[in-house]
């Protein structure tokens, strides 16, 4: 069934580049990521040779742009009627779901690669810890994957891409902000420590911060892989439900 | 080759298909007729593995369309209602996508794709984005994707809808050409197609089969010996039928 997975992946990847979507997305990402690092993160004022200003604002950029990339995945198929064509092909549902996800994740990875001028700049200006920078990129890629998978699951709930985008952004926002100190402080003041810890554990931001600090922990990797698998499974269940005709 | 055994499907409170049964053998071309909302498309979707029946069994070449969906679909070519296709893709890319998903590679992929494009007479538009094509070309692109892998069973939901008379003739000729080697179902509102291409006709209304026989036997059901009058006689309510007559 690998040929089916490859066919879906190839079609989806081409679909991003056959329309302006991928080019607009990549241009916006390649402009916005350095802009946030320079202006909000005060890239030069820190006097440090690292990419912390880039990685600090990455979650907020990704929580807007990843749902934008994911919104079309199933909603467009439903809207155009091509879902019926896809469902009549001898493709296992896991292959359709995974193929769509991997194609979107590839575009996200390309977007991260396009921030390489900043990496070159810090290496030109100083002696950064490149292993820590790579760890930060790895964390950003996992975070992007988690947001994409969540966005694709929500795209399977509707035939309207705008609705899919709003749902995706809202879900990613919730998943991110549960890790903000202000939220954890409020929860900590009003709920038992166990609940506070549980909510902190759900936060994509908390798990991402470890990578941002140059640390790869198995629990953080497992969180994002688990988020991706659970979200893709949800998308698969939602599409399979359509085959059951809403039963 | 194809079996629909007491298929039942409901959507919320509506019973769309209520015990539809028929079998189809190689060499048969079945005209699947009925008014809008009769249950034709729902039945075809169940046979294509896009919908699971609430009860009953659909199978293709001996493979259950639910329990052995992938094996059944591997032997099926399906043209869904409205002939949906990806507008940014070219017809050639669209046909190749379906073939790749079915495991075709390299030379076999190219040969099957070119043959399908040639059979539906799409060569002149094969490399233009589908979204820029006329309705007739779009339908032929979807038809090419349905026949490219040379399936044993073809289910075509309104294959000539939106085509001009010459294009309709072309599609009918293609169906006749493929008929000896395949079991083919076509749903249509163009009743003249039934005697022109079908060896058998089924009339369905309110989710139930009202007639199953040859086109000639269907014509005998009408007042003036035409398929149109037979269709009205079978599918209209008695009081409506009187006023229509």
Are residues A216 and A133 in contact, defined by beta-carbon separation less than 8 angstroms?
no
What pLDDT, in 10s, does the model give residues B65-95? 999 999 999 999 999 998 999 999 999 999 9
Nearest CB among A15, A19, A87 relative to B50 is that of: A87
B50–chain A Cβ distance below 8 A for any pair: yes
pTM of the predicted model as reported, rounded to 2 decimal places: 0.90
Are residues B187 and B41 in contact, defined by beta-carbon separation less than 8 angstroms?
yes
- B16-30, B55-69, B213-227: least confidently modelled range: B213-227
> Is the pLDDT reported for residue B143 higher than 80?
yes
> Is the pLDDT reported for residue B244 higher than 70?
no
Q: How many CB atoms lie within 10 A of CB B120?
A: 26
Between CA A69 and CA A17 the distance in angstroms is: 12
Q: What is the pLDDT of residue A247?
A: 38
Nearest residue in chain A measured CA to CA from B155: A88
Between CA B141 and CA B157 the distance in angstroms is: 14
ipTM score for this prediction: 0.90
Angle at CA of residue A114, ends A111 and A116, nearest 5°: 135
Regions of chain A where pLDDT drops below 50: 246-247
Determine what percent of chain B is predicted with pLDDT higher than 90: 70
First to last CA, chain B: 39
Nearest to A160 by CA among A244, A67, A77, A243: A77
Q: What is the pLDDT of residue B245?
A: 46
Pair of tokens at residue A71: 């919104």
- Selected residue with higher pLDDT from B41 and A178: B41
Q: Find chain A residues with C-beta within 8 A of B89's C-beta.
A: 11, 14-15, 18
Chain mean pLDDT for chain B:
90
First to last CA, chain A: 27
Residue A160 domain boundaries:
2-243
Question: Rounded mean pLDDT of B188-214?
Answer: 90
Pair of tokens at residue A237: 């269940």
The total of structural domains in chain A comes to 1
C-beta atoms of A15 and B12 within 8 A: no
Residue B146: in which H helix or E strand, if any?
Answer: helix B135-147
Between CA A211 and CA B203 the distance in angstroms is: 65
> Is the pLDDT reported for residue B243 higher than 70?
no
Nearest to A111 by CA among A87, A144, A135: A144
Angle at CA of residue A239, ends A245 and A81, nearest 5°: 80
Are residues B162 and B82 in contact, defined by beta-carbon separation less than 8 angstroms?
no
B 73-132: CB under 8 A from A:
73-74, 76, 78, 80-82, 84-89, 93, 97-98, 100-103, 105, 129
Q: Which domains does chain B have, with CATH numbers?
A: 16-75+152-245 (3.40.50.300), 84-150 (no CATH)
């Amino acid at each position: 069934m690998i040929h089916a997975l490859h066919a879906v992946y190839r079609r989806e990847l081409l679909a991003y580049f056959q329309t302006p979507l991928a080019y607009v997305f990549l241009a916006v990402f390649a402009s916005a990521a350095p802009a946030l690092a320079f202006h909000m993160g005060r890239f030069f004022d820190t006097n440090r040779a690292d990419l912390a200003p880039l990685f600090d604002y990455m979650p907020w950029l990704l929580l807007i742009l990843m749902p934008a990339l994911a919104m079309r995945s199933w909603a467009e198929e439903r809207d155009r009627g091509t879902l019926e064509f896809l469902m009549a092909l001898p493709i296992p549902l896991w292959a359709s779901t995974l193929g769509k996800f991997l194609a979107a994740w590839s575009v996200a990875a390309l977007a991260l690669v396009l921030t390489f001028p900043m990496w070159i700049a810090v290496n030109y200006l100083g002696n950064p810890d490149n292993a820590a920078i790579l760890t930060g990129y790895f964390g950003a890629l996992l975070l992007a994957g988690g947001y994409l998978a969540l966005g694709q699951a929500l795209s399977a709930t509707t035939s309207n891409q705008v609705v899919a985008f709003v749902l995706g952004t809202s879900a990613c926002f919730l998943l991110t902000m549960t890790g903000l100190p202000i939220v954890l402080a409020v929860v900590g003041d009003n709920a038992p420590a166990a609940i506070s810890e549980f909510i902190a554990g759900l936060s994509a931001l908390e798990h991402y911060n470890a990578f941002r600090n140059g640390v790869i922990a198995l629990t953080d990797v497992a969180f994002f892989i688990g988020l991706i698998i659970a979200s893709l499974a949800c998308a698969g269940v939602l599409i399979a439900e359509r085959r059951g005709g809403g039963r | 080759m194809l079996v629909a055994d007491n298929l039942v499907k409901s959507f919320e409170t509506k019973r769309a298909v209520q015990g539809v049964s028929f079998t189809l053998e190689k060499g048969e071309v079945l005209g699947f007729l009925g008014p809008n909302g009769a249950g034709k498309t729902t039945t075809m979707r169940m046979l294509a593995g896009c919908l699971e029946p609430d009860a009953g069994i659909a199978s293709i070449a001996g493979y259950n369309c639910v329990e052995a969906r992938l094996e059944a679909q591997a032997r099926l070519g399906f043209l869904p209602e409205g002939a949906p296709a990806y507008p940014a893709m070219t017809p050639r890319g669209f046909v190749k996508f379906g073939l790749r998903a079915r495991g075709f590679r390299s030379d076999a992929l190219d040969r099957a794709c070119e043959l399908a494009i040639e059979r539906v007479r799409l060569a002149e538009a094969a490399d233009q984005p589908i979204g820029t094509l006329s309705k007739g070309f779009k339908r032929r692109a979807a038809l090419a994707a349905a026949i490219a892998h040379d399936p044993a069973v073809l289910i075509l939901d309104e294959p000539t809808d939106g085509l001009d008379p010459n294009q309709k003739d072309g599609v009918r000729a293609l169906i006749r050409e493929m008929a000896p080697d395949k079991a083919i179902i076509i749903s249509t509102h163009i009743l003249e197609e039934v005697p022109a291409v079908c060896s058998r006709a089924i009339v369905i209304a309110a989710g139930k089969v009202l007639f199953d026989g040859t086109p000639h036997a269907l014509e005998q059901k009408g007042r003036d010996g035409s398929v149109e009058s037979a269709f009205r006689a079978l599918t209209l309510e008695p009081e409506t039928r009187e006023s229509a007559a």
